[in-house]
């Protein structure tokens, strides 16, 4: 816990103080030297993390990426570092690589090869993916400074190998292909004039010779001029006989 707290403190100093304290931290930790304190600590931590296999230990695919022979057999005497300490160590590397001076120091000590081993290792533990993510970030930063080392250690093949492995794991949980829903635009309605012309043509084409069908007489309910009440009463009442004069 004390070592992890010390690494987190150095990370905070690098993040807040930036360039004024960066050169002092690089010199004190020996980052620019292959046999410096920090590079040796990182390589030891990675070797304990992958168990000396350096390859596809525990993964679904047992084949190694091209041009990568298997590493030394596992060493049972090496115990993995605590998760908290390893996380703080990888975070410190990431913040160092964020600056040009720190990235050049990591390139000088040959950190590329050690980080690619972390990416290539296919561990069973879920916590291991955290270190893979951090290693990818550091490699992404220092590759801009030294592309030759990335190509010399077959970095592209390792990345493709790791990506295929992660895709295979995702396909186990979601084997079906997800088809996106395509929203089609609504069909545009034709102008009103075209509808009217179409209706007229349909009516004229109903009879041979272009004759129009006979029109029905309007029903009494739709008669525009209803008869007057007096006329209806006169028409409906019987004719009264003429008045007979009285005696």
DSSP character string of 86-150: HHHHHHHHHHHHTSHHHHHHHHHTTHHHHHHHHHH---SSTTHHHHHHHHHHHHHHHHTT-HHHH
pLDDT at 69: 42
The answer to whether residue 120 sits within a structural domain is yes
The answer to whether residue 242 sits within a structural domain is no
The answer to whether residue 218 sits within a structural domain is no
The answer to whether residue 81 sits within a structural domain is yes
pLDDT tens-digit readout, 100-157 = 999 999 999 999 999 999 999 987 667 788 899 999 999 999 998 889 999 999 999 9
Per-residue DSSP letter, 79: P
The answer to whether residue 54 sits within a structural domain is yes
Which of the residue ranges 21-30, 45-54, 188-197 would you say has the lowest mean pLDDT? Answer: 188-197
The answer to whether residue 225 sits within a structural domain is no
Domain count for the chain, please give it.
Answer: 1
Task: Give the residue-averaged pLDDT of 210-223.
Answer: 55
Tokens of 23: 């050169």
Neighbours of 153 (CB within 10 A): 20
The answer to whether residue 207 sits within a structural domain is no
Task: Give the residue-averaged pLDDT of 8-15.
Answer: 90
Domain containing 169: what range? 2-173
pLDDT tens-digit readout, 144-193 = 888 999 999 999 999 999 999 888 888 887 777 666 677 777 666 555 55
Mean pLDDT rounded to a whole number for the chain: 74
The answer to whether residue 221 sits within a structural domain is no
Degrees, nearest 5: CA angle 59-149-114: 40
Give percent of the chain with pLDDT exceeding 70: 61
């Amino acid at each position: 816990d004390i070592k992890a707290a010390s690494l987190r403190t150095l990370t905070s100093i690098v993040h807040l103080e930036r360039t004024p304290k960066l050169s002092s931290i690089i010199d004190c930790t020996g980052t620019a030297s292959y046999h410096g304190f920090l590079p040796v600590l990182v390589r030891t931590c990675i070797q304990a993390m992958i168990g000396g296999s350096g390859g596809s230990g525990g993964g679904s695919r047992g084949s190694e990426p091209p041009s990568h022979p298997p590493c030394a057999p596992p060493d049972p005497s090496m115990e993995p570092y605590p998760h908290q300490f390893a996380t703080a160590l990888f975070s410190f590397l990431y913040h160092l690589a964020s600056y040009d001076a720190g990235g050049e120091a990591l390139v000088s000590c040959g950190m590329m090869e050690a980080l690619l081993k972390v990416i290539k290792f296919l561990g069973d533990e879920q916590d291991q993916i955290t270190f893979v993510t951090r290693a990818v970030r550091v490699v992404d930063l220092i590759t801009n400074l030294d592309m030759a080392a990335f190509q010399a250690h077959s970095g592209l093949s390792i990345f493709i190998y790791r990506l295929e492995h992660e895709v295979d794991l995702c396909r186990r949980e979601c084997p079906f292909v997800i088809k996106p829903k395509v929203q089609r635009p609504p069909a545009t309605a034709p102008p009103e004039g075209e509808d009217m012309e179409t209706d007229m043509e349909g009516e004229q084409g109903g009879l041979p010779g272009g004759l129009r069908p006979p029109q029905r007489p309007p029903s009494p309910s739709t008669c525009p001029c209803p008869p007057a009440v007096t006329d209806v009463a006169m028409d409906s009442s019987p004719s009264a006989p003429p008045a007979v004069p009285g005696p």
